[in-house]
Amino acid sequence: MNAHAAPRQLLARCIAAAETLSRGAIWVAGSLTLVSALYICADVILRKAMGVSLGGADELSGYAFAISITWALAYATLRRANIRIDVIYQLLPLRIAAILDWIALVGLATFIAYWTRYGIDVFMLSWTRESTANTILGTPLWIPQSLWIVGLIWMCIVLALLLLRSTLALVTGDMATVREVCGMRSAEEEAAQEAEAGRRMAEGN
């Protein structure tokens, strides 16, 4: 057990650091969404009141939406906020549930890896051809695509850390850790997290 203690502690620290960075990323993602909504509102009001338009609201909001999604993926995964069907899952023994959690994480990592690979291909194509949006703004497509790709690459890094942590736990028979890393949140865990979030809000944190 001592031989595995150091790698487990290192991975735990890396995952904690990744969660801190991912928390910052969702603030950026949320800010993009908020700014996009405010821009659209201003555009609508100006159109109605003065008959003028800021222009590009639909294009810029599309970029903001795509970027905010990929930048929020890592935090959602770290907090185990992904939607999964748990009708049968809650009835399974811990070992079987942990193995299924690990398989689900492998499936997610495979999907994200392919998505990132082809996303990079799209970015490189836009970069080499100097492609621009077919809009009034004529935005160089590599700019929003690069920000979009950053979120996907970060998601791949986070998934690699989670896979290493959960695989090590699975090999050593630590099924509780496997479930803690990549399993579904129980109703008790969700209630505890909601209570903690309410406490922080009340304290102004």
Domain boundaries, the chain: 7-183
Tell me which DSSP letter residue 56 carries.
-
**Predicted local confidence at residue 192, as pLDDT:** 64
Check if the beta carbon of residue 49 is closer than 8 Å to that of residue 55.
no
**Predicted local confidence at residue 109, as pLDDT:** 95
Question: For 95, what's the count of Cα atoms within 13 Å in the CB-facing half-sphere?
Answer: 3
Q: Which of 22, 38, 183 is nearest to 96 (CA)?
A: 183
**Predicted local confidence at residue 116, as pLDDT:** 96
Residue with token string 């109605």: 48
pLDDT along the chain (205 residues), means of 10: 68 88 92 90 85 79 92 91 74 84 92 95 93 85 93 96 92 85 71 65 65
**Predicted local confidence at residue 193, as pLDDT:** 64
Instruction: Estimate the crossing angle of helix 175-182 against helix 142-171, to 10 degrees.
Output: 170
Q: Where are the alpha helices (DSSP H) in 51-93?
A: 57-78
**Predicted local confidence at residue 124, as pLDDT:** 94
Cα dihedral across residues 69, 84, 165, 193: positive or negative: positive
pTM of the model: 0.83
Q: What separation in angstroms does the CA of 13 have from each of 17, 76, 147, 162?
A: 6, 18, 26, 12
**Predicted local confidence at residue 60, as pLDDT:** 87
- 10 Å CB burial of residue 204 (0-12, 13-18, 19+) is exposed
Instruction: Estimate the crossing angle of helix 142-171 against helix 94-129, to 10 degrees.
Output: 160
- Dist CA 200 CA 170 (whole Å): 34
